[in-house]
């Protein structure tokens, strides 16, 4: 896969990114079947496969259990080969999510992510929304806080993983990237993609493969159909998909390459 630009930032990312919630958390997730957390060896195998497939985007978050710490150990010797995207604003403690978008909480969260990921900079930090997108941006000024930390050199690009159309549009006005939902059964947020294209901002897609529930899509090959649909929109920089299955990763990379051919 050829790398793609993220808006007007200096970042180049693989069109398929590896989501790592399954590296550190198996409670309170909405996948169709339960799973055990992977061993260090399994994680190493997936990351080595990413290298072979030219996948350089790794997505994590403080809310993903100990995903950040595990990645920090695995990527320590090859930090500059990866674009690491983490988040701030949500914590997952004892089976429950807690949100805090204050300047103090966000700064502390990013300081902790830097230590956990064993790095002195973060390529991308997104606000991990609780659904109150407008309040987070306008009242809590969360993206302003991230912008200040970006100026300090802690972060290369900032954005928000939004849950509303209004929030996605606002995020594009105040940051580099919006991470949104978009797939054949849910196209309401296309207006955000259209605006990103106009403003030359980055778009990352989450839950593009319906978190393992693709049977809802009436197609002989729903994965191929979905990926072709997503990458038809020129605003899309990358689709983040979480998996512990090397074969699934290979297949997804193949279909993304086909969709972009």
Catalytic residues: 64
Structure tokens at 7: 């808006």
- The 8-class DSSP code of residue 30 comes to -
C-alpha to C-alpha distances, 5 to 2, 83, 121, 229, 237, nearest whole angstrom: 10, 12, 19, 20, 7
Number of Cβ atoms within 10 Å of the Cβ of 26: 15
Concatenated DSSP letters of 151-211: HTTSEEEEEEE-SSHHHHHHHHHHSSEEEEE-BTTB-TTHHHHHHHHHHT-EEEEESTTGG
Judging by DSSP bridges, how do beta strands 90-93 and 96-99 pair with one another?
A: antiparallel
Q: Which of 35, 102, 33, 22 is nearest to 63 (CA)?
A: 22
Q: Could you give phi then psi for residue 174, rounded to 5 degrees?
A: -120, 5
């Amino acid at each position: 896969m050829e790398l793609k630009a993220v808006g007007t930032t200096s970042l180049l990312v693989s069109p398929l990114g590896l989501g790592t919630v399954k590296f550190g958390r198996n409670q309170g997730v909405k996948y169709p079947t339960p799973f055990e957390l992977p061993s260090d060896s399994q994680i190493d195998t997936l990351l080595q496969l990413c290298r072979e497939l030219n996948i350089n985007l790794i997505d994590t978050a403080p809310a993903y259990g100990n995903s950040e710490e595990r990645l920090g150990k695995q990527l320590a010797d090859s930090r500059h080969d990866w674009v690491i995207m983490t988040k701030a604003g949500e914590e997952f403690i004892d089976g429950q999510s807690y949100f805090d978008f204050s300047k103090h909480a966000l700064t502390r969260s990013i300081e902790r992510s830097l230590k956990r990921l064993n790095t002195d900079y973060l390529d991308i930090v997104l606000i991990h929304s609780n659904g109150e997108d407008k309040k987070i941006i306008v009242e809590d000024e969360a993206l302003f806080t991230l912008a200040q930390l970006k100026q300090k050199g802690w972060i290369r690009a900032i954005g928000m993983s939004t849950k509303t159309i209004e929030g996605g549009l606002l995020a594009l006005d105040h940051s580099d990237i919006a991470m949104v939902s978009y797939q054949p059964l849910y196209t309401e947020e296309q207006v955000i993609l259209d605006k990103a294209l106009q403003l030359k901002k980055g778009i990352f897609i989450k839950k593009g493969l319906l978190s393992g529930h693709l049977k809802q899509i009436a197609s002989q090959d729903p994965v191929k159909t979905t990926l072709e649909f997503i990458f038809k929109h020129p605003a899309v920089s990358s689709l983040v998909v979480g998996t512990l299955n090397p074969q699934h990763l290979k297949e997804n990379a193949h279909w993304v390459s086909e969709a972009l051919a």
